[in-house]
Amino acid sequence: MGSNTRQRTNQIMVRVSADEKAAIREEANRYSLSMAAYLRNLGLGFAPKSTTDKQAITHLAKLHGDLGRIWGLLKMTLNDSALTECQRIRELISQLAETKEKIRETVERL
C-alpha cells in the first residue's frame, strides 16, 4: 500500500470513540473525502466544500429530464390515439407520479 514517493510521511495519532469515528466518516463522505483528507483539511484551516448539494442538483436535473420525456410521451400518446392507448396512458401517469415523488424526496433531503 502507498507509494515510495509519498511526500506525507508523518502521522498524527488521535484516539476517538466508535461513535466519533462514525461521525467523522459520515462527514468525510459528505464531502467526498477520505477521513484522513477531511481531518487534514480541517486541521489546516481549509473548509471542505460540500459535494452533497452538487450531487442533489445533478440528481434533480436527471429527474427533471425524465419528467420532460414522460410528459412528451404522454403528449405523443394522446395525439396519436386518445382512447385506444389507455393502458399506456396509465403507465405514463404512474411514471409521472413516481418521478414527482423522487423529486420531492430529493428536495426534502436538501
Q: Please, is 104 exposed, middle or buried when counting C-beta atoms within 10 Å of its C-beta (0-12, 13-18, 19+)?
A: exposed
What angle, 0 to 180 degrees and rounded to 10, lies between the N-to-C axes of helices 35-43 and 18-30?
90
3 state SS of 39 = helix
pLDDT at 103 over 70: yes
User: Which pLDDT does position 51 carry in this prediction?
Assistant: 64
The pLDDT-based confidence of 65 (bands split at 50, 70, 90) is confident
Whole-prediction pTM: 0.44
The residue to which cell 462514525 is assigned: 22
Residue type, 61: A
d(CA 92, CA 109) in angstroms, rounded, equals 26
pLDDT at 73 over 70: yes
- Selection from 10-14, 86-90, 92-96 with the highest mean pLDDT: 10-14
